[in-house]
Structure 1
């Protein structure tokens, strides 16, 4: 089928499924690569619609064949959020964890009950039940695509397997990078253990990491297709600030803000500063108020410059908040 006809077919199908909103070019190009069974690396910022690529590709398969998309996530919480998104689209999905993976779930998976299966590296590599599922011929015949979300983590896992991560002090400070296991270095054997295309997704992946990922997965440059997309909001600027101080001190923030006598609060560029602990959040607030020459400003709940917020991560709270995102 000619490239132009494939594009036209995809656009018509997407219009019927998702309405008048046109697909982005990176989505179409990536899906065409997957149709040609080419491993694909999508490098695009948040908001471009990388997860939509998996939905488009899955929708191309006859539903009576019960196609399955297998998605590897670095965190269980990411899988929970994506399962909720799929349910909102009336697509069956499950996030496999060591807690919920039992014989009943195993039977449902082999029956093709779930179209999207999310799992963490721990489940992929270290769970006996999933190993039994993975090597079952029925399951392998149903899997149509293997996806690695936040694929830059494969580079970190490769460092773990080689022992080099011990030299990277910052990794010990980020709790969101999960518990590291030496077995993660063998992840390529599982990801490439099914004869289907591999889709790698990442918003932040530097050249050194890309080379490390391909080496870890034993994929050559010639056998993978790269698809890139710019930020969906071009008015957003990304500025790289080299760090000179310890991460826990947050003192690198001092160079980003001047005294309030120079720039009033209402002229400060809106900024989000993410921290992974309450202590770091407070420390960041102390530092930015120090930079602004506002003594004790970090303790002012009504500060017009900076305030602290905490994410709602409880299971019951998420169920209430996700349908109403503006509550947060």
Structure 2
């Protein structure tokens, strides 16, 4: 019986697998992209590039790095998590203004350009050394996103340090419509106050900021007790950022790991469904691979499959009644 299988059925079936695999491979090469609806995202990611973001109090692969470098690494990881059809753009913040560097572009077709431009963001782009996050940066980032359109949400990455500092009694936000704002306020930095590097216009460190070099938090009006402050040092102002996020309608998340940013950016609350060209060439390619695997499978595999087929047919004949309503005799099977 095995010889009969090898001489008749097996060679004939195996020979057909090769041309079928060839046709599948040709289809994988020439097959165009198929437009399918899917969930996508659109973001303008704003990086705080003030000098406090140069503090090296976070680590990447066990090596201390600056907050800005850590944020860039997290964003690089997030690019790989966003589905094709999503769009991402870059902007930077210092002073009271957010400056758009790159309008949102599709992440898969422009992945290399996005990575290179992301790595190029650093403190040398800074045009001033003071900053206002709540009263300038967030407003400006939202305006930029609205001007760009495309339903872009905001991702604002900062350590929360402002210079000069905002007095504790001062209102953080005025007349802001939280219903028009969507996105994330992302906090990055350590919990312990650390010295802030002082850099020149070329981005070279020339020392550290001292207490007499910066403006400290003023005393609360009506209080004779001076405020305890150390604005020459910096740590993540998470409580402050959480308050700003609550008042603006943004979500707040701390950047504990490089994967946290990507997890936030694929939040389904910020997804929108639209038709996207989808590459399905892997389907015929996989089919060709299976055909070739079958073509060159050992004879014992084919004999086992043939035996399984015979067993199933025999089982069906025993269970399913014949057309005349009688079961076939057991010996005929």
Shorter-chain TM-score tier: under 0.3
Relative to the length of structure 2, the TM-score reads 0.27
The structure with the greater share of residues assigned to strand is 2
Q: Which has the larger radius of gyration?
A: 2
Relative to the length of structure 1, the TM-score reads 0.27
Higher RCO by CA contacts (8 Å cutoff, separation 6 or greater)? 2
The structure with the greater share of residues assigned to helix is 1
